Amino acid sequence: MTGPLMPKATAVWLIDNTTLTFEQIGDFCGLHPLEVQAIADGEIAVGMMGHDPLATGELTLDEIQRCQADRGARLRLSPKPQVGKIKKRAKYTPVSLRQEKPNAIAWLLKEIPAISDGDIIQLLGTTKSTIQAIRSKTHRSMIEIKPQNPVHLGLCTVEDLNQLFQKYKV
């Protein structure tokens, strides 16, 4: 079982705002009950701001009340809520692969002539000026650019490329 995001700060909040036992708090936060007692006595974590697990969705009020009523019960983390479509993070491209991006752009422009700059930017994480320079064949290293499949270069996944082909029905 994984614990809360900030275990000691969560323990501080639970000590201040609930009547849970040191064992219950320690079990939930991954701390020894004596460490929780030391936090409550002000021996450690002095001045630490408590972290509200209700606000972050790690616990529910019902779960806290259930464990306050039954001293033998153990707190359980709330399941992570699935909120619609998860936004993809910006993709990091290792330095060794950055020089391959123009080759992948040239391949995409050759295979899908109607592709938009936005789709290339989203797929490869490049810039609009680079795409336009390759489209107009004015890129500074145009002589060295050889169209290569971005999947083979490791710049995107097969699924992402297939979605692009489906979008443009190539």
CA distance 109 to 149: 11
Nearest to 118 by CA among 106, 110, 127, 108: 127
Q: Percent of the chain, pLDDT > 70?
A: 92
Q: What's the number of CA atoms in the CB half-sphere (13 Å) around residue 101?
A: 23
How does pLDDT run across 118-153, given as a tens digit for each residue? 999 989 989 999 999 999 999 999 999 999 999 998
Locate the domains of the chain by residue range.
7-69, 95-168
pLDDT value, residue 32: 94
Cβ-defined contacts of 70-73 (< 8 Å, 24+)? 71/21, 71/24, 73/24
Q: What is the pTM of this model?
A: 0.49
Q: What is the CA radius of gyration of the chain?
A: 26
Of the pLDDT bands very low, low, confident and very high (cuts 50, 70, 90), residue 9 is very high
Closest CA to 137 of 101, 113, 106: 106
- Report the C-alpha gap between 100 and 26 in whole angstroms: 51
CA dist 67 and 86 (Å) reads 32
* pLDDT band at residue 3 under the 50/70/90 scheme: confident
Residue 59 · residue 77 · CB < 8 Å:
yes
φ and ψ at residue 142, rounded to 5 degrees: -60, -30
How far is it, in rounded angstroms, from Cα 102 to Cα 131?
Answer: 8
Confidence of residue 4 (pLDDT cuts 50, 70, 90): confident
Q: Is 70 exceeded by the pLDDT of residue 98?
A: yes
